[in-house]
């Protein structure tokens, strides 16, 4: 609620945190508090921020590969723990294929009018159409197979 008063981004959790917790095994709130204090200090003292900015891209890239790989692995683990009947496999296969297909072939939606709201941009990300398709299929396909 305070974020809007100060014209700042709203508070939210980031999925990178789940990957970091899975990698380190540390779940303590105190670690989050210390990280918050460090971020405040980095904001107040630009020289400290310069040290972080001087970090090589390869180090940041390596950390990102580990974090996003762990997020992907957590998603695969979640999918593997669900009941994989024909219905769920169909929903998974269609939504993944649709989302990846639109991401890899953005020219597929080039003929769709924009309607002034960047509708075409929403379709080329793959995430939104795949999520909507999975939601729609889950709601409409019969539960008994």
pLDDT exceeding 70 applies to what percent of the chain?
A: 87
Q: Closest Cα partner for 58 from 49, 66, 47?
A: 66
Average pLDDT, the chain: 82
- Let me know: does 67 contact 15? Beta carbons within 8 Å: no
| 141 — pLDDT class (breaks 50, 70, 90) | very high
Q: pLDDT tens digits, residue range 32-76?
A: 889 889 988 988 998 988 888 898 999 989 988 888 888 888 888
User: What are the tens digits of pLDDT across the range 75-102?
Assistant: 888 888 888 889 989 999 999 998 888 8
Written as six digits, the tokens of 90 are 């169909």
Tell me how far apart the alpha carbons of residues 73 and 68 are, in angstroms, rounded to a whole number.
9
Measured distance CA(8)–CA(19) in Å, rounded: 25
| Position 23 confidence tier, pLDDT thresholds 50, 70, 90 | confident
**Global pTM value:** 0.58
Cβ neighbours around 137 below 10 Å, total: 16
Helix axes 86-104, 127-140, angle to 10 degrees: 160
């Amino acid at each position: 609620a305070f974020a809007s008063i100060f014209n700042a981004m709203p508070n939210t959790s980031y999925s990178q945190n789940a990957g970091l917790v899975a990698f380190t095994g540390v779940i303590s709130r105190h670690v989050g508090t210390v990280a918050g204090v460090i971020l405040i200090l980095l904001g107040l003292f630009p020289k400290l921020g310069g040290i972080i900015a001087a970090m090589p891209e390869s180090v940041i890239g390596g950390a990102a590969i580990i974090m996003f790989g762990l997020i992907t692995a957590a998603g695969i683990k979640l999918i593997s723990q669900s009941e994989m009947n024909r219905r769920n496999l169909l929903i998974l296969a269609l939504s993944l294929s649709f989302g990846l297909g639109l991401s890899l072939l953005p020219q597929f939606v080039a003929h769709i009018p924009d309607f002034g709201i960047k509708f075409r941009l929403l379709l080329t990300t793959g995430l939104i159409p795949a999520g909507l398709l999975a939601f729609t299929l889950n709601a409409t396909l019969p539960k008994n197979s």
